[in-house]
Structure 1
Amino acid sequence: MPSRKFLLTICCALALIPAIASAGELLGAGVISTGLQETSAALTADGQTLYFMRSDFAEADDTIMVSQRHGNRWSTPQVATFSGEWHDSEPTLSPDGNRLYFVSNRPLHPGDAPVMAEMNGQQFPGSNLWYVERQARGGWGTPVHVDGALNDGAMIYNPSVTASGDIYFSAHRADSGKAYQIYVAHPQSRGYAAPVRVELGDLEHSRMDPAVDPQGRFLIYAGNEGDSLGSADIYIAFRQADGSWGKPLHLGNDVNSRTLENAPSLGPGFGELYVSSARRDDVHFPKPRDNGATLQQRLQSPLNGSRNLWRFDIADVLRAHGITR
């Protein structure tokens, strides 16, 4: 599959509307955030358990990991009990914590071929939406396929769920235009209704990786509305009184950098935002002369240009728009 940062297009500019967020912190340097690719943080309500995706640079081998917080430290991540065999990615927890949704190329029936997708004449591992249910004695049950039109085309990414059961996700569908857009599927008596595209503006702009407020008051996503600092930045849109979404706002220079930012997710605390970012340490020349050991250590460090998980506080942004908890 082509790198998703190249699928995010740069088109007509929108006026910049400033939004201020506090400076971020790298999550679990050397343990959670490493020299590999880490994205898609999903924290339990008590903040003590973290699910996330770890991958190689090419994102050809995605696996869902889990780590426990002990004081200020995170445990060595382990492969989640339901992952490790297929191309599994982008975990998200339902607001009540009883379901963990993720996308996967695993076949619908044992023994079948993995799910594949095609775009612009290229074939690549596809993705369908699945979930696991929390068990009474702890742990997760067997993965369950989410049936319905939301999986049409096998290109569904980054699910996010409201308290009412609406599932937001990004996908390339017949009405997406040239790139990706954000959709919502509403629950009905049996399964989910056909997905509806979330209207956020010109379809020339690619929009991905939604993180929706559990109450549906705001929506955070990755894209480029014409004012991106890098190949993709993080934006927020607020629900209007008539139920529509307001003009997307760029989340400013703390959340965003001149590298790739994507896969935002909401933490359990008010204003707690997690973002995958490829920001790196600057290299200045001439540099102190490396030997083999120092070069390897630096090139394998979290800030080597791989994507890592960062935590930000956007409480002030939410309060400025009338959201206080």
Structure 2
Amino acid sequence: MRHWLIAIATGLSVLAAGTPATAGTEATILAPGVISSDQEEWRISFTPDGRSAYFARSADFFPVSRQATILVSRTTNSGWSAPHTASFSGQYPDIDPFITADGRRLFWSSIRPVDGQPRTDADLWMVEKRRDGRWGEPQHLGAAVNGPADELYPTVTADGTLYFASDRAGGLGGWDIYRSRPGRDGRYGPAENLGAPVNTDGWEFNPVVVGPLLVFTGLNRAGGYGAGDLWYSAATLGSWSTPRNLGPTVNTALDEYHPSVSPSLDRLYFVRHNYDPWVPGDIYTIRARDLYHRLP
């Protein structure tokens, strides 16, 4: 057995280390009263310069209300600015924004009409950055990716591979993680289930791929701390390793979900929710170097 530190801050390398995270290290709420509010906050994603943050907010719990809006906040000399509605959001339920590493595309999940036909399920959409720096018109990702069930939490890797979660029929559990590869025409091909050991007969969702690591939420997964926990798997020889829990610096008996990372890879962000008593989910953050785990 070797002891390893997951060091996202150093290019997602897995570096040898001999001591755990600093004693007393804990995640803190991001921008209380500005980004994290008395409502429900959801996944946050940043522009490459780290100066703009896109995230979703809803008055009620999205899985029940199925209502949310994507907001944007920008850095100022005094901190994060008061959020305003993103240009492509506000008319329909929108959630789970993800900005590509080059800042040219933003993906998200939305319950909005497709080709003029109303939809009641969440599909994956995209906007591209125009020459004037504004976002263009929303584009549906197509039937190869989207189906009659929900598609949520898109993530796109450097080679263009799309990862997302869905509760569609034919999966291993209630929610599974899928991926779709772009063809030469740029359109995404048929979605494929990641299979075991990432997916189980339970719920796996909220995937984010950072370098060789897949970080995701596993609900009540064996070996967890309770409710939703953040887990990670490493890409090895064309497959994903057996997932491991990110540990108690992030996971608690409460519900942790919606992971993301800063553009510089030095911070992890996630949402934490308390249901008894009910405390709306806030966005938390912790330095990547404070994450510690033991790997074989």
Once the 2 structures are TM-superposed, how far is the Cα of residue 167 of structure 1 from its aligned partner? Answer: 0.4
CA-based RMSD: 2.3
Unaligned runs of 5+ in 2: 1-19
Separation in 1, partners of 2:201, 2:89: 35
1:314 aligns with 2:288: yes
The count of residues paired between Structure 1 and Structure 2 equals 269
Matching residue of 1:195: 191
Separation in 2, partners of 1:203, 1:320: 22
Kindly indicate whether the alpha-carbon contact (under 8 Å) linking 2:273 and 2:280 is maintained by their aligned counterparts in 1: yes
Letter in 2 for 1:88: D
Question: What are the superposed Cα offsets for residues 209-260 of structure 1, whole Å, 9 maximum, x if unpaired?
Answer: 00111x4x110000132122221110111111x1111111111112112111
Secondary structure of 1:163 counterpart: coil
Matching residue of 1:62: 68
TM-score if structure 2 supplies the norm length?
Answer: 0.84
Separation in 2, partners of 1:54, 1:87: 10
Matching residue of 1:23: 26
Once the 2 structures are TM-superposed, how far is the Cα of residue 20 of structure 1 from its aligned partner? Answer: 5.3
Question: What are the superposed Cα offsets for residues 185-229 of structure 1, whole Å, 9 maximum, x if unpaired?
Answer: 01112311211111342622210000111x4x1100001321222
Letter in 2 for 1:39: W
Kindly indicate whether the alpha-carbon contact (under 8 Å) linking 2:110 and 2:125 is maintained by their aligned counterparts in 1: yes
Kindly indicate whether the alpha-carbon contact (under 8 Å) linking 1:148 and 1:193 is maintained by their aligned counterparts in 2: no
Letter in 1 for 2:39: L
Once the 2 structures are TM-superposed, how far is the Cα of residue 154 of structure 1 from its aligned partner? Answer: 3.5
Matching residue of 1:209: 206
Separation in 1, partners of 2:148, 2:165: 12
Letter in 2 for 1:270: L
Question: What are the superposed Cα offsets for residues 15-49 of structure 1, whole Å, 9 maximum, x if unpaired?
Answer: xxxx8595212111011001100010001111110
Secondary structure of 1:315 counterpart: helix
Question: What are the superposed Cα offsets for residues 88-119 of structure 1, whole Å, 9 maximum, x if unpaired?
Answer: 11000112110000111111124x32x12xxx
Question: Hey, which of these two has a bigger chunk of helix by percent?
Answer: 1
Secondary structure of 2:207 counterpart: strand
Kindly indicate whether the alpha-carbon contact (under 8 Å) linking 2:246 and 2:292 is maintained by their aligned counterparts in 1: no
Once the 2 structures are TM-superposed, how far is the Cα of residue 320 of structure 1 from its aligned partner? Answer: 7.7
Deviating beyond 3 angstroms after TM superposition, the runs of 4 or more aligned structure 1 residues are 19-22, 315-321
1:156 aligns with 2:151: yes
Structure with greater Cα Rg: 1
TM-score if structure 1 supplies the norm length?
Answer: 0.77
Aligned pairs for 1:140-289 within 5 A = 140-190=135-185, 191-201=187-197, 203-213=200-210, 215=211, 217-224=212-219, 225-240=221-236, 242-279=237-274
Question: Hey, which of these two has a bigger chunk of strand by percent?
Answer: 2
Aligned partner (choices 115, 119, 133) of residue 138 of structure 1: 133
Aligned partner (choices 105, 109, 114) of residue 103 of structure 1: 109
